[in-house]
Every structure is written in structure tokens, then in C-alpha cells.
Structure 1
Amino acid sequence: MKQRRLGRSGLTVSRLGLGTMTWGRDTDTGEAAAQLTAFVDAGGTLLDTADVYSEGQSELLIGHLLREVVPRDDLVIATKAAITPDGHYDASRRHLLGALDASLDRLGVDHVDLWQPHVYDPATPLEETLSALDEAVSSGRARYAGVSNYAAWQLAKATTWQRSWPGRAPIVSTQVEYSLLHREIERDVVPAALDAGVGVLPWSPLGRGVLSGKYRTGIPADSRAATPHFAEFVQPYLGEDSRRIVESVATAADGLGVSPLAVALSWVRDQPGVVAPIIGARTSGQLLGILETEQLTLPQEIRDALDDVSDV
């Protein structure tokens, strides 16, 4: 798998990242081990998690796999904090640094490679949140700092603040939702990231699974939309506007002799500013299909057609 530099930093990561939101809940130890092994064997390095994924079970499971399956040094481990167990936002210095220590304990490591506030917390001054990133990096508990789910003005303010004084940890990445079904960030977040030299890490690059084509004729019983904890997450992308885009992706896939998933993922992977889409798979077989996308580069005429049909 090709590697890309994360923003203007010296850190390189695989141009696909492996997400672990369901690990420890819907994805058990055996399946997670199979996925991680397949990912690393394909040259993947970026492993993404968060302290709230599966109520901490994702990080615990990753910690087990680092001890038993894949060496820690083979991976670039990214995690996040700022959402409390009851769903509130807390990006205070107290909460963030305590959450980082808890993440390190669950992961069984002395540092993570990329640490990010999971959300912007309007109740906490941004400079306080950023001071926690400085402390994490200067203490060696994190190698690099990023942000997640920040609006363009929040990203611009954070990157400018961190550059304004020597010794502050620069923001090297921003993790945001981005797909053919969610292109709003092209208006402001992507230009802000490009200007600041920040790498974009898209989450849900397959439109919450809808761009795979699995929902074209209904909701499969084994899909995330059929589960109580993901149904509301997927539902917004099951409307008529989304259906038109999905059908266009399917048409392009038929013409190229590949899957709709491959077309949709290749499109977002090669958008300006994007470093590594974060992909999640239900099974290792599904992941292997996703990893085959590495071989696909969309012809420009197909990219143009998809741009037109999904234009924001």
C-alpha cells in the first residue's frame, strides 16, 4: 500500500486507515485479529480508534492484539478523546490528559502516534484544549497532534494558535466526514486544511456504508442499518438524493468491472488534501475487498461525472 505524508509533518501513513469503532462490541477478538493481520499484510499502518469506541473496549482489544498478533512498531496508532461516557463534550485540560492516560493504559503502550480532540468543545477555551495537546506531545505520550470534527474556522484558529509561539505542537491532521454523499467540507474545511498544511483523514468515506450499494434494494438483515445502535446513523443517507448518487457509482463500477465500493473509496482517497480515508469493515472478507481498491485509480472522465452528480 502506498504511503503518504501527514500534512507538513514528517509522519507517513498508509493511504487507507483501518477504523475500529465496532471492535469490542460487534467485532470480536478473532475477527479483529483477522482484519488487523490482513491490513498490515497489505502494507496498512494507520489504525484509528477513540476512547469512547465500544465504551473503551476497542482500545482494550487493540492492546491485546498488539501483544499477541501485530507488533506495536508496525502501526501508526491514532486515538481521540473529548466525549464523556454519557455523551457530553469535555475538552478541558483535566479531562483530556486523564483520558489520554486511560487510553495508554488500555492500549498497553507508552505513547500513541496521533492524538486528537474528538470534537470541538464550545464550553472550553480553545487555547486550553490545545495546551493539553502540547503537554501530550512534550511529555512523549503522543508523537503528533491533530483534531477531529472541527469546523473550518475552528481548524484555522487552532492551527494559527499553534504556529504563533515556538514549541507548541503543530496540528498535522483533521478527521472529518467526507464522501460522495457528504461533500460539504469542500467549501471551507478542505481549503482551510490545504492552506494550513493539515492532512485530511475522512471518516465514513463510503457514506456510512450506503455507497457500497448494499442498500439499493432495501436494508439487509446483517447490515449496520439493521442494528439498533447504527440505524439512525445510516438513515439520513437512504433518501432519493443519495439513491441517485449511488446509482451513478454503480454505473461507473459496472463500466470499470469493479465494485461500487472501490469506485466510491478511490474517489475520496484521491481528492485534494486527503491523506487516508478511515475504513471500517464488518468482516475480514469485506476488508480484503476494500484493500483491493489500492489497485484502482479512477479515469478523469469518471471522476468528473461523479463530481457533477454529487455536486454540493
Structure 2
Amino acid sequence: MEYRRLGRSGLQVSELSVGSWVTYGSQVDQRAARESLAAAYDAGINFFDNAEAYAAGESESIMGRALKELAYPRANYVVSTKFFWGLDNRPNRYHTLNRKYLLDAIDGSLKRLDLDYVDLAFCHRPDPNTPIEETVWAMSDMVTRGKALYWGTSEWSADEIRAAYEIAERHHLHKPVMEQPQYNLFHRKRVETEYARLYEDYGLGLTTWSPLASGLLTGKYRNGIPAGSRAGLKGYDWLQQQVLDPAKNAIVGKLEDIAKELGTNVGTLALAWVLKNPNVSTVITGSSRIEQLHENLKAAELAKRITPEIKQTIEETVGNVHL
């Protein structure tokens, strides 16, 4: 496992990481989560991603109990959480990034995770109803109080990130260090085009999610929705149209041919392609079984074999650089 700096910060994160969205509390129970975290840690993964809203807080609780049972030195791993959606539909408790919510939400997450601090705290979505300045002050105070070590954003526009950074700089506050965007072969424009100036101007780091486009890039949806898959879960009906898209599945079929020539599968190829982007600090992966985790880990070695020519062939096959 290789490690990359989180943007321009000094923090090093494993190039592949483990996320708990959907899986913890939906597909993975306490025992399986502990075994998965142990296998990831043994493989050199040091970053575990979470969020307050995942499984309505249960994902944080499952991860917290697993880390407690495994008893790894706290300095050896990096944990994140994210805030915006909330756990209650009353005012100041959901769909907000106001000061009252944020400084209460971090306490709730730390209690569920059973940790003294999280390494990374993300604003899970932008909040059009709260001044960015208020959010920046609250997140900076969160870091100053030692409840988070770094803060950043998730799915914010480049203009919103730039505004937050400049407010922090003007007031000598803790600046946003990282962004967590979706990034995969079918979803590229924001990372490759919209954020392009932010990497050089601010040293923005990326902890990217959905490298397999919710499983579409594994090829498992080419013949429908298999039992036990994410798109078949209750409450995830919205994924079905995306993963069953005929045009995209046809492209996946062509990518499978490229993968076979390299002696691998299309899912590993798709992960390796994301790793080739030097602006990506870590690629967040998900797995409901240890076998899936081991398969994902193969992407790190495959990435070393992807030449500029192979990368170009992959991108020409997809043909969506502006999407």
C-alpha cells in the first residue's frame, strides 16, 4: 500500500480507503464490519470514511465499536465523518451547516464513534441558507477545539470552495483542506475541469467516492440486478435507472475486453484508472465481503501497469471527458 499526502497538508492517507456508506448497517453487521476493518488495516489501509447520516448514525456506531474491539493505536488510523443531512427533521437539526447544528453534530458523532476526535470533518453538502462565513467559523472552531484535525467539503462547487478558503484566509482561520467528490469513468467533469485551478491555488486534496459508479463499473448489472446488490436494497430504487442504463452497460462490456487483456476485471481496472489521477489523495472503496476488499486492493498494483497509452484507450472507450 502506498500513501499520499492529503492535498498540500502533511497528513498521509492510504491510496485506497474504506467507506461505510450503504454497507454498515444495511449490508454489513457488527462482526462483518470488524473483520472488514481488520483486513483493510492489515493490508495497509489507514483511512476509514463515515458520515453522521449513514444508516441514521448507526454506521458511526458500528465503526466505533469495531475500532474499540480491534484496539489499534489511535495514531495509526484516520477517521472521517460528514455533516449536513442531520438525524432529526426539526429546525437547526437537518439540511443545514449553521453553527448551532455543526457544533452539536460533532459531539454526537464523537460519542457514536467513541473517539476523542475525528481526523477529517466534511461539510457533506453546501447549504444555501447559511452564510458560508458562518460555516467557515464553525468548522474552524471545531478544529481549534481539537474535535477535528482538518476540515473540508463534499460536493461543493469550485466557487463555494474558493469563497470558503478566502474567508478563512482573511480571518486567519483554519482553511478547508480537502473535498470529497464523486469521481469515476462516468463522472469526471467536476474533478478534472471545475476543480482544476484549486489543486494549484489551494493545494486541495481529494477523497473520492463511488469509483465504481455504484457498482455499474463492475459489470454485475449488465444482465439485471443480482440478489443482494446495492441497487436491490430497499430505499435504493433510485439507483436502478442509473446502473441499468443500456448505453453505459455497453461501454462496460468494451472495458471488460481491455481488462481481460491486462489479466484483470473491469472493476479493478476502473479503480486503477481513478488512482492514476495525481490530484486524488485516496479512493474510497466499499465492500460487503472481505473477498470484495481483496479484489479492490489489486487496483493498487494494476495502476502501476497502466501506461499513458492504456489510459488513453480506456478514456477513448468511454468517450465522456466533458461529462
TM-score, structure 1 as length reference = 0.95
Question: What is the rounded CA distance, in whole Å, between the counterparts of 2:71 and 2:258 in structure 1?
Answer: 37
Does 2:37 correspond to 1:40? Answer: no
Question: What is the rounded CA distance, in whole Å, between the counterparts of 2:199 and 2:156 in structure 1?
Answer: 11
Question: What is the rounded CA distance, in whole Å, between the counterparts of 1:118 and 1:284 in structure 2?
Answer: 28
Does 2:10 correspond to 1:5? Answer: no
Task: Give the C-alpha shift of residue 241 in structure 1.
Answer: 3.1
Q: How many residues align?
A: 311
Structure 2 residue aligned with 1:16? 16
- 1:108-139 Cα deviation digits (max 9, x unpaired): 11111011111100000001111111111101
Q: Which moved more, 1:28-37 or 1:150-159?
A: 150-159
8 A Cα contact 2:199 2:205, kept in partner? yes
> Within 5 Å, which residues of 2 pair with 1:107-256?
107-166=113-172, 168-185=173-190, 186-256=192-262
The aligned amino acid for 1:41 is D
SS at match of 1:31: helix
Question: What is the rounded CA distance, in whole Å, between the counterparts of 1:199 and 1:270 in structure 2?
Answer: 15
Q: Which moved more, 1:232-241 or 1:105-114?
A: 232-241
8 A Cα contact 1:27 1:282, kept in partner? yes
The aligned amino acid for 2:78 is V
Task: Give the C-alpha shift of residue 216 in structure 1.
Answer: 1.6
Q: Which moved more, 1:50-59 or 1:185-194?
A: 185-194
Q: Which moved more, 1:222-231 or 1:260-269?
A: 222-231
Structure 1: where are the runs of 5+ without partners?
none
Question: What is the rounded CA distance, in whole Å, between the counterparts of 2:255 and 2:67 in structure 1?
Answer: 37
8 A Cα contact 1:199 1:274, kept in partner? yes
8 A Cα contact 1:152 1:188, kept in partner? yes
The aligned amino acid for 1:159 is Y
Task: Give the C-alpha shift of residue 194 in structure 1.
Answer: 4.1
Task: Give the C-alpha shift of residue 70 in structure 1.
Answer: 4.2
Question: What is the rounded CA distance, in whole Å, between the counterparts of 2:276 and 2:207 in structure 1?
Answer: 12
SS at match of 2:24: coil
Candidates 274, 293, 300, aligned match of 1:268? 274
8 A Cα contact 2:52 2:86, kept in partner? no
Task: Give the C-alpha shift of residue 7 in structure 1.
Answer: 0.9
> Within 5 Å, which residues of 2 pair with 1:66-81?
66-71=67-72, 72-81=74-83
8 A Cα contact 1:77 1:112, kept in partner? yes
The aligned amino acid for 1:307 is E
- 1:266-294 Cα deviation digits (max 9, x unpaired): 10122141111111112111111111222
Question: What is the rounded CA distance, in whole Å, between the counterparts of 2:134 and 2:174 in structure 1?
Answer: 13
SS at match of 2:107: helix
SS at match of 1:144: strand
Task: Give the C-alpha shift of residue 174 in structure 1.
Answer: 0.2
- Identity across matched positions, percent: 37
SS at match of 2:208: strand
Question: What is the rounded CA distance, in whole Å, between the counterparts of 1:252 and 1:106 in structure 2?
Answer: 44
The aligned amino acid for 1:151 is S
Question: What is the rounded CA distance, in whole Å, between the counterparts of 1:209 and 1:234 in structure 2?
Answer: 11
Task: Give the C-alpha shift of residue 234 in structure 1.
Answer: 4.6
Structure 2 residue aligned with 1:309? 317
Does 2:72 correspond to 1:64? Answer: no
Question: What is the rounded CA distance, in whole Å, between the counterparts of 1:177 and 1:300 in structure 2?
Answer: 23
The aligned amino acid for 2:14 is S
Question: What is the rounded CA distance, in whole Å, between the counterparts of 1:190 and 1:86 in structure 2?
Answer: 36
Task: Give the C-alpha shift of residue 49 in structure 1.
Answer: 0.1
TM-score, structure 2 as length reference = 0.92
